[in-house]
Structure 1
Amino acid sequence: MKDEQQRWLLVMNATFNMVMGFILPVNTIFMTKNLHESMVVSGFVLMVYSGFMMLGNALGGYLFDHYSHRGTLLIGYLVAALGFLILSFCHTWPLYAIVLTVIGLGMGVSYTAVNSYTAVVAQQQRHHSQRIFNIMYLSANVGIALGSMLVSVIFQRSIFLTFFLPALCFITCLLIVIFRGHILDGTTHKHSNTTQSSEADIKEVAITSQISKPRLYLNLFLICLAVLVVWLGYSQWDSNMSLYMLNNNFKMRDYSLLFSLNALSLMIIQPLMGHLTESLFSQLKIQIALGLAIMGSSFIFLPGAQQYWQYVVSMLILTIGESITFPTIPALLSKFSTAQNRGTYQSFYVIFGSLGRALGPYLGSLVATKSSFDVLFMLICGTILAVAGGVALVKEA
């Protein structure tokens, strides 16, 4: 049962991230080249889309905690699938912009629900809880890499398939929830075992009661701040770094190659680092602090970087740090949560990560323009190291 439960979660997680990797590069190109809208308009639409996705993240956490686990997934997948089906047959302006924002809402709901289900499984298997988050993170990266590879081929051949394939992916996920929902819940029947649930709730309350409410809120603040700051820095690689490298006489293929290196090396590094840190450090906060410190130190190689090896080393160090940090943060949030707030806590990780990705490119460009890229990189290094120290102060039960 447990293996099958994890297997379906992995499939849904990889599928969702494959759609993300598939559709994100399409939006700007399609709006500017096919719909003939300006970069400003397309940027505004994507900002609204990101805002609706964050709203969906928060809504998904609330529905997961107060409505229904399976119902939350069904709502999110249904909204996203219908949105992509509409775009498959009618992708004209301004309908495209309107439907895209609705898709963002549905994807936000479903993404938080999948993360929350992962926390449920981790709670049911405490001895292997961190390993579950590590595997889910790896499957997400596999999905993104696969989606990024497919989109370059499919977008050039068929606009219809570009939007229909994501719809098909979410319809597949819908069918999994409908016909295998009881397996996702970890029960042999479609109705959960209330006795087992009550016993699990008692254990969760016993763990969380060791931490006072003010201290718990401080813990959550420090974790959310760390997520926000690390994504403010990490998002520079997706945005302003391309300009920095071009200004230093590198080519776009040199920039793109770094992301291929990141994806490939992550497949090897993540399982190794997950096993190593789990065996060396029992406390999750220490693992996160270590990962953040490594990520922050990766930016030291970038100021004045004129040789390509400096970017390669920086990316490899960043990959080592993210392989420790990103799967462990939701594991720590899960440790603080109970059955009554598990979805909400998992939504914090997604929301603050999305906020960092949304603000990072703009704030980074401001610092680089007003001062320099060198100042930007050192500022990122300093702030990430600072929040690493903050996470180390978290009181872990």
Structure 2
Amino acid sequence: MISQSSQDGDVRKPQHVEINAIVLYITTFFQSTGASLIWPITTLYMHNVLHQSMTVAGIVVMGLSVTMMIGNWLGGKLFDHWNPFKALVISVGLALLTLLSLTFWNSWPVFAIFMLISGFADGLIYTLLNSYATTIQTIDTRKVFNLQYLFMNVGVVAGTAVVGFLFDYGVELVFGGAAVMYGVFFVLVLKFFNVKGLAKQSARAAEKAAKSTFKTPVVIYAILGLAFSFYMSYILWETVIATHMTDLGMTAKDYSFLWTLNGVIIIFGQGLLDRFIERLPVRWTVLGGSTLFALSFLILIQATTYPMFVFSFVILTIGEILSSPQIPAWIDDLSDPNAKGHAQGLLTMFVSLGRAIGPLYGGLLIDSGSYKLLFTSVFAIMFFFVLLTGLLSKRHVRN
């Protein structure tokens, strides 16, 4: 990045530089599509094909979330204190190399080792992409994250729609397809993410952060707790609720349709929300959406028929649309302007922590209690963080 000079020779402040928003959205789509080819079949492949117990499969999935957390933390550090472009190239390159290796070597325990490496690489990627998003100032931050979330979910719909078909013809096609998506992602990163001046801009911000007297608002920690409870609850739908539905006589196809419905509602809902999101206070979209999300689990307590599960999932999805993409925007708004990577790294760490603990927590409560106890406790945990965040956020309402 070159400083501009005025006619009288005075040197002006360097201009702000940022990633192109459209590029960010397109790369998010390809990354999300590739990742969505993997996560739906991870447990299924380990249990049904590699003949590992559900306990072993659960440990691997939990380990994947732990390595992702490490990547989340490191990604924030690299964005703030090193070179954002080089960090992203290495991260995507590692993910691509891992997927290519899985295409040819996917027996036990090689599969588990590669999945742990993949989790670490994706952890880096998620934080770095979010940190790149925070550089965009020509568009309202909330719209940036809203549209990024929309493209991510289009990728989820695309990936989950084809993974079943590919898996029927061999897991090699699944990993190969994911590698193709990450290959396109890698090319886009090489071509468009080396934003001139961004590394120097990050270095200057890191220097300012080191000297900064900025005090992190307490409400940020409450928001992190809310994000943790949000994703600890959300992952129950990807794990134990599937078993609960089949125990009640519903089919795997019934369960799969819920995710298709989830994707369709998100795509149309996010597009509609983007039109007037700037008029809605970020505090109320996050708190209102999280409240709806929590209430969906109260519905689950009494759910015994398929329409009740559909109703609960629709309420959950509406809550997700309102709150999930706005949480990183709210964190960005409240955090140190010179440590954006650190803030997004913390957030993605708490998201990964929730996804790691959720299945274990759900299994323990089901084994020692019941599904009703699990759903009641999840509602209570989420509602506690909604109330805590609401109380602490009154002094930090965004204008």
- Equivalent residue number for residue 261 of structure 2: 261
Corresponding letter in the other structure for 2:345: S
- Equivalent residue number for residue 218 of structure 2: 218
Corresponding letter in the other structure for 2:111: Y
Distance, in Å, in 2 between the alignment partners of 1:366 and 1:271 is 38
Corresponding letter in the other structure for 1:253: K
Distance, in Å, in 1 between the alignment partners of 2:304 and 2:118 is 42
Corresponding letter in the other structure for 1:221: Y
Could you tell me which of 374, 380, 384 is aligned with 1:386? 384
Is 1:171 the counterpart of 2:183? The answer is yes
- Equivalent residue number for residue 233 of structure 2: 233
Q: Which moved more, 1:49-58 or 1:156-165?
A: 156-165
Q: Residues 53 and 386 from structure 1, CA distance in 2 versus in 1: closer, same or farther, beyond 3 angstroms?
A: same
Could you tell me which of 30, 33, 43 is aligned with 1:15? 30
Structure with the largest fraction of helix: 1
Q: Which moved more, 1:168-177 or 1:259-268?
A: 168-177
Please give the per-residue CA displacement for 1:228-275, whole angstroms capped at 9, x wherever unaligned.
112222222222222332333333322222222211111122233454
Q: Residues 371 and 276 from structure 1, CA distance in 2 versus in 1: closer, same or farther, beyond 3 angstroms?
A: farther
- Counterparts in 2 of 1:102-117, with a 5 A limit? 102-117=117-132
- Equivalent residue number for residue 251 of structure 1: 251
**What's the TM-score, normalizing by structure 2?**
0.86
Counterpart contact for 1:84–1:163, Cα < 8 Å:
yes
Is 1:54 the counterpart of 2:44? The answer is no
Distance, in Å, in 1 between the alignment partners of 2:143 and 2:272 is 11
Tell me the CA shift for residue 296 of structure 1. Answer: 1.2
- Equivalent residue number for residue 296 of structure 1: 294
- Equivalent residue number for residue 333 of structure 2: 335
Counterpart contact for 2:297–2:312, Cα < 8 Å:
yes
Tell me the CA shift for residue 118 of structure 1. Answer: 0.9
**Where does structure 1 lack aligned partners over 5 or more consecutive residues?**
none
- Equivalent residue number for residue 131 of structure 1: 143
Distance, in Å, in 2 between the alignment partners of 1:96 and 1:230 is 29
- Equivalent residue number for residue 279 of structure 2: 279
Is 1:376 the counterpart of 2:374? The answer is yes
Is 1:149 the counterpart of 2:161? The answer is yes
Counterpart contact for 1:270–1:320, Cα < 8 Å:
no
- Equivalent residue number for residue 310 of structure 2: 312
Secondary structure, counterpart of 1:249 in structure 2: coil
Counterpart contact for 2:88–2:189, Cα < 8 Å:
yes
Q: Residues 30 and 217 from structure 1, CA distance in 2 versus in 1: closer, same or farther, beyond 3 angstroms?
A: same
Corresponding letter in the other structure for 2:246: L
Please give the per-residue CA displacement for 1:48-68, whole angstroms capped at 9, x wherever unaligned.
222111111111111111111
Figure out how many residues of one structure are paired with residues of the other and give that number.
Answer: 376
Corresponding letter in the other structure for 1:71: K
Counterpart contact for 2:231–2:355, Cα < 8 Å:
yes
Please give the per-residue CA displacement for 1:356-393, whole angstroms capped at 9, x wherever unaligned.
11211221232233333223222222322221122222
- Counterparts in 2 of 1:192-211, with a 5 A limit? 192=198
Corresponding letter in the other structure for 2:47: T
Please give the per-residue CA displacement for 1:83-120, whole angstroms capped at 9, x wherever unaligned.
11222222233322222222221111112111111111
Question: Matched residues, percent identical?
Answer: 29
Corresponding letter in the other structure for 1:141: N
**What's the TM-score, normalizing by structure 1?**
0.86
Could you tell me which of 161, 176, 179 is aligned with 2:173? 161
Q: Residues 34 and 173 from structure 1, CA distance in 2 versus in 1: closer, same or farther, beyond 3 angstroms?
A: same
Secondary structure, counterpart of 2:338 in structure 1: coil
Counterpart contact for 1:236–1:360, Cα < 8 Å:
yes
Q: Residues 88 and 349 from structure 1, CA distance in 2 versus in 1: closer, same or farther, beyond 3 angstroms?
A: same
Corresponding letter in the other structure for 1:118: A
Distance, in Å, in 2 between the alignment partners of 1:249 and 1:32 is 22
State the Cα RMSD in Å: 2.7
Counterpart contact for 2:140–2:278, Cα < 8 Å:
no
Distance, in Å, in 2 between the alignment partners of 1:350 and 1:237 is 19
Q: Which moved more, 1:57-66 or 1:37-46?
A: 37-46
Distance, in Å, in 1 between the alignment partners of 2:266 and 2:84 is 31
Distance, in Å, in 2 between the alignment partners of 1:70 and 1:330 is 21
Distance, in Å, in 2 between the alignment partners of 1:59 and 1:390 is 29
**Where does structure 2 lack aligned partners over 5 or more consecutive residues?**
1-16
Q: Which moved more, 1:171-180 or 1:66-75?
A: 171-180
Please give the per-residue CA displacement for 1:101-150, whole angstroms capped at 9, x wherever unaligned.
222211111121111111111xx23x522111100111111111111112
Distance, in Å, in 2 between the alignment partners of 1:358 and 1:263 is 23
- Equivalent residue number for residue 86 of structure 2: 71
Counterpart contact for 2:143–2:277, Cα < 8 Å:
no
